[in-house]
Amino acid sequence: MTTAKSAGAHNAGDPYLPHSGNGGYAVDSYDLDLRYRVATNRLDATAVIVARSTQELTSFSLDLVRLRVSRVRLTGEKRTRFRQTPSKVVVTPAQPIAAGEEFTVELAYAGSPAPRRSHWGLVGWEELTDGVIVAAQPNGAPTWFPCNDHPSDKARYRIRMSAEEPYTVVATGRLVSHGFASGRGTWLYECDEPTATYLATVQIGGYLRRHVEVAPTPVVFVFPAELEARVHADFAPLATMLETFSDAFGPYPFPDFTVIVTEDELEIPLEAQGSAIFGENHVDGEGGSERLIAHELAHQWFGNSVGLAAWKHIWLNEGFACYAEWIWSERAGRDTADQLARRYHAGLRTLPADLLLADPGPALMFDDRVYKRGALTLHALRLTVGDPAFFGLLRAWTERRRFGTAVTDDFRALAAEVTGAPADVLDALFDAWLDALPVPDLPPAPGRVRARARR
């Protein structure tokens, strides 16, 4: 076995997912050539991965689950040694890879992809009644391609996929080309924006595809034909949502936004890079999922463009997307953000006080309290610094961290820099909401402040 100092670590050091991700290198790009048969759930694939070492490497590993690798080749080698465990492919180059060196590894692999079990249920590649959904958060990406499965290692993607002709394939990125030959369709997507592995996706089904010009963000709708009227009705507010969030958070970060609606029911919608996936049960034709549409759209700013450096900071994704729901409710003329905040604040105080927002632990990282307490933290900050400073902070956050990653302390530091609020006030607020168990009091609503001032 190689020494620890020159072998890439077989995990990323994230205690929430101790067996996911890999050390010793960072990926620049994934080029995936996927040949899939829906009828038999058979995947034959090639992955070409360009990466750069962060230390000398006598070996390194990639995450891959269930699928079997038949060949590995590093550039410049005729044959590269490798071994495979249930969740890793360990590659041993003929000569050590020097620190800071770019290298390319090609893997041929195949099998019947399936979701993997996790703390949070089944995640990854999953067969639908007639098609495929990929729901990879947080550790499902290795169910369909070899990767460095950690949110901090963002990369570019080129995904070429073929499937039987009746099916439409949607993948991460913009559609570059598609065509049909010998009863099969081939679709090529390219994504130049740095993307976390859990946000890369493939969706396959008997779908219609509709491109709609919604200034300044084009929208692509993908859905079963029988749901067309319901889709158009339920997503009618999307143009105004895009306008509202672009004003609140800064420009939409991707070339377009793709909405996929499956013919199957899904427990919850999910976000992917530049897209969101909904189940048939989320489109009722009566706007019943408007809150969820707002939430998944907001993730394009918070989670997808500004990503996580580690899973403990999940509130930076979910708390922000939840608060976007409240902003949209207010913009749509329904409950104000303050009304919603006080309602959920009262509810949180009836629940156990056993969750630290800044470090909820893997079992609670998707607990609804992370969403609501995260949103309440932002509302408390908004009430403390005022709307101009608060929304200026959100726009600065998405601009400075665009396509990067962040931790909670980065947000705290930026708040101190751009809001003008006293440091002791911000420290007390963040310490209470992020690093203590009891649910703090909310600051008074603006109207109450003005009422007291007039007396």
pLDDT, tens digit (0-9, with 9 covering 90-100), for 217-257: 999 999 999 999 999 999 999 999 999 999 999 999 999 99
Query: What's domain 309-454's architecture?
Result: Orthogonal Bundle (1.10)
Band of pLDDT at residue 9, cut at 50, 70 and 90:
confident
* Mean pLDDT value across residues 41-46: 98
Write out pLDDT tens, residues 423-442: 999 999 999 999 999 999 99
Residue 318 annotated as binding? yes
Residues 282-335 pLDDT 10s: 999 999 999 999 999 999 999 999 999 999 999 999 999 999 999 999 999 999
Contact 62, 77 (CB under 8 A): no
299 is known to lie in a ligand binding site: yes
- Provide CATH 3.30.2010.30 ranges for the chain: 207-300
User: Beta strands of 136-280 (E only): which ranges?
Assistant: 155-164, 168-171, 174-181, 184-195, 202-205, 208-212, 219-223, 257-261, 270-272, 275-278
pTM of the shown model: 0.95
Query: 3-state DSSP helix/strand/coil percent for the chain, to nearest 5?
Result: 30, 30, 40
Class (C level, CATH) for 207-300: alpha beta
Q: 9-116+131-201 has which fold?
A: Immunoglobulin-like (2.60.40)
295 has binding-site annotation: yes
Residue 451 has pLDDT above 60, yes or no: no
Q: What tokens were used for 412? A: 């705290």
Got the DSSP string for 130-174?
TEEEEE-TTTTGGGTS-B---TT--EEEEEEEEEETT-EEEESSE
Question: Is 396 within 8 Å of 340 (Cβ atoms)?
Answer: no
- Indicate where the chain has its CATH 2.60.40.1730 domain(s): 9-116+131-201
Catalytic residues: 296, 371
